[in-house]
C-alpha cells in the first residue's frame, strides 16, 4: 500500500466511485444508527478530493492506495500559520479499511504528516488532536510529540426549535437604538480588520485556560476559512455581529449549516465584557436561530458546546443555552489536546 498526495494524481471516475464507497463505510462505522441522519450526498463527499492550498493555510489530503490503485483509506490535515513564530497542525478525517487495520498503516500516516510538516514548516509547531485518551498520548510520544494541555467541551443538542419563544425573548430589542445587527456569510471587506480583532478577543474569553495559546486571526486567514468551510464548500457559514452606536463591533455569533440544511452547529457566541449583562448574547443567538430556521425549514438538529471549567462566563452561557432549549448530550464530550514538536 502507498500513501499518495491527492494533488499529485489524476482523480478518475473509478477512483471517485471507490472513494464514495469507502467514505460511506467510514460514516456507517462512526455513526451507527445515526448514519441515515448524518450521511452526506455523493457530490458533497467528492469535494473532499479537491485540493486546497492558500497562503498561510494548507489543507493536505492523502489516499491509501493498493497495488491495483483501489482505495483502502484516507487521511487529511491542515496547517495554519498563526504568526511568524507559530504554526498549528490540525489532523482531520482519517479512515483505514477494517481489513487493513493493525498493520501499521495508521502509524505510517501519522509519520507522513509529521515529516511533511517538518520539511515544510522548518521550525517548532503545535499539533491539535480531538482525543483525550491517555493511550493516545503515549502513542504520540513515540512520534516525538510532547503533551502540553487539554480542553474538554460538552455538546448540547436543540431538537425542538420554538420560534415564538425566541421571538418573544427578543421583543425587548425591537426598538433599541444603542445597538444594531449586521448579518453576513462572507465578512464585508470594510469591517474585516475590526472583525478579526473582535473575534480574537471573544475567542480568548471562551476557554478557562490559555488552551491554544493566544488565538490568531488575520483577514487572510478569515478569507481562507470562508473558502474552505463556507459557501464554496457546499455548507452555509453565517455570522451576526453587534455594533454599538459608534459603529464599533462588540459581539458576535456564528452558525454552520450542513447536510442539505438539516443539521446546524451554533459555534462561538460572545460579547465584550463591558457590554455584558444586557441580554445581547441571547439576542443574537436567538436571532441566528430564527434566521436559519426561515432559510432551512427542514432543519432537524442544532448543536452547540459549553467549555467545561470555563471560569469566565461558563455558568451564564450554560443557563442561556438551556433557556433557549439546548439540552446536554449525556457522555458526549469533545476533547482538544495540544502537543508540540520541534
Specify the pLDDT at position 151. Answer: 61
Residue where one domain finishes, among candidates 72, 105, 123: 123
Domain limits for position 220: 154-333
Specify the pLDDT at position 157. Answer: 80
Write out residues in the chain with pLDDT < 50, as ranges: 208-212, 311, 331-334
Assigned domain for 305 exists: yes
Whether 60 and 201 map to the same domain: the answer is no
Assigned domain for 49 exists: yes
Whether 248 and 182 map to the same domain: the answer is yes
Question: E-assigned strands of 172-273?
Answer: 179-184, 236-244, 249-258, 263-271
State whether the Cα torsion 67-69-73-75 is positive or negative. positive
Assigned domain for 200 exists: yes
Domain tally, the chain: 2
Whether 160 and 266 map to the same domain: the answer is yes
Q: Where on the phi/psi map is residue 309: left (φ > 0), alpha (ψ -120 to 50), or beta?
A: left
Specify the pLDDT at position 208. Answer: 40
Specify the pLDDT at position 23. Answer: 79
pLDDT tens for 125-138 read: 888 876 655 567 77
Residue where one domain finishes, among candidates 123, 142, 171: 123
How many Å is the Cα radius of gyration of the chain?
21
Whether 119 and 168 map to the same domain: the answer is no
Whether 316 and 191 map to the same domain: the answer is yes
Whether 158 and 119 map to the same domain: the answer is no
Whether 200 and 276 map to the same domain: the answer is yes
Specify the pLDDT at position 209. Answer: 40
Specify the pLDDT at position 311. Answer: 46
Residue where one domain finishes, among candidates 78, 107, 123: 123
Assigned domain for 139 exists: no
User: DSSP H helical segments within the chain, as ranges?
Assistant: 13-31, 35-38, 42-46, 105-121, 134-142, 163-169, 192-206, 219-229, 280-295, 314-324
Whether 158 and 303 map to the same domain: the answer is yes
Whether 251 and 171 map to the same domain: the answer is yes
Residue 6 belongs to a domain with what CATH number? 3.40.630.30
**CA atoms within 13 A of residue 147's CA, in its CB half-sphere:** 17
State whether the Cα torsion 222-191-245-239 is positive or negative. negative
Whether 204 and 114 map to the same domain: the answer is no
Whether 119 and 158 map to the same domain: the answer is no
Confidence (pTM) = 0.64
Whether 103 and 177 map to the same domain: the answer is no
Assigned domain for 275 exists: yes
Contacts 24+ apart (CB under 8 A), 264-268: 264/292, 264/296, 264/299, 264/301, 264/302, 264/303, 265/302, 265/303, 265/304, 266/302, 266/303, 266/304, 267/304, 267/305, 268/199, 268/202, 268/203, 268/206
Assigned domain for 212 exists: yes
Amino acid at each position: 500500500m502507498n500513501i499518495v498526495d491527492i494533488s499529485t494524481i489524476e482523480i478518475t471516475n473509478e477512483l471517485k466511485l471507490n472513494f464514495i464507497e469507502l467514505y460511506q463505510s467510514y460514516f456507517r462505522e462512526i455513526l451507527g444508527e445515526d448514519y441515515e441522519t448524518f450521511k452526506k450526498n455523493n457530490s458533497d463527499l467528492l469535494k473532499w478530493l479537491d485540493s486546497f492550498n492558500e497562503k498561510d493555510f494548507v489543507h493536505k489530503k492523502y489516499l491509501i492506495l493498493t497495488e491495483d490503485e483501489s482505495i483502502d483509506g484516507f487521511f487529511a490535515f491542515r496547517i495554519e500559520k498563526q504568526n511568524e513564530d507559530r504554526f498549528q497542525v490540525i489532523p482531520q478525517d482519517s479512515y483505514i479499511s477494517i481489513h487493513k487495520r493493525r498493520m501499521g498503516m495508521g502509524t505510517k500516516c501519522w509519520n507522513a504528516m509529521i515529516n511533511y510538516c517538518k520539511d515544510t514548516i522548518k521550525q517548532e509547531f503545535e499539533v491539535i488532536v480531538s482525543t483525550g485518551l491517555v493511550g493516545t498520548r503515549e502513542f504520540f510520544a513515540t512520534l516525538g510529540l510532547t503533551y502540553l494541555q487539554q480542553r474538554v467541551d460538552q455538546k448540547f443538542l436543540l431538537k425542538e426549535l420554538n420560534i415564538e419563544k425566541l421571538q418573544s425573548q427578543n421583543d425587548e430589542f425591537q426598538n433599541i437604538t444603542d445597538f444594531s445587527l449586521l448579518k453576513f456569510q462572507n465578512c464585508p471587506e470594510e469591517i474585516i480588520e475590526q472583525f478579526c480583532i473582535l473575534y480574537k478577543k471573544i475567542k480568548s474569553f471562551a476557554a478557562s485556560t490559555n488552551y491554544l495559546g493566544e488565538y490568531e486571526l488575520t483577514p487572510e486567514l478569515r478569507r481562507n476559512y470562508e473558502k474552505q468551510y463556507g459557501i464554496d464548500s457546499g455548507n452555509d457559514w453565517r455570522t451576526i455581529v453587534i455594533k454599538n452606536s459608534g459603529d464599533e463591533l462588540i459581539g458576535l455569533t456564528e452558525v454552520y449549516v450542513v447536510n442539505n440544511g438539516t443539521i446546524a452547529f451554533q459555534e462561538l457566541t460572545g460579547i465584550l465584557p463591558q457590554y455584558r449583562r444586557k441580554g445581547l448574547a441571547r439576542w443574537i443567538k436567538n436571532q441566528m436561530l430564527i434566521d436559519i430556521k426561515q432559510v432551512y425549514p427542514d432543519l432537524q438538529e442544532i448543536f452547540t458546546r459549553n467549555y467545561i471549567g470555563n471560569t469566565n462566563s461558563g455558568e451564564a452561557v450554560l443557563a442561556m443555552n438551556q433557556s433557549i432549549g439546548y439540552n446536554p448530550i449525556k457522555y458526549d464530550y469533545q476533547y482538544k489536546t495540544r502537543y508540540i514538536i520541534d
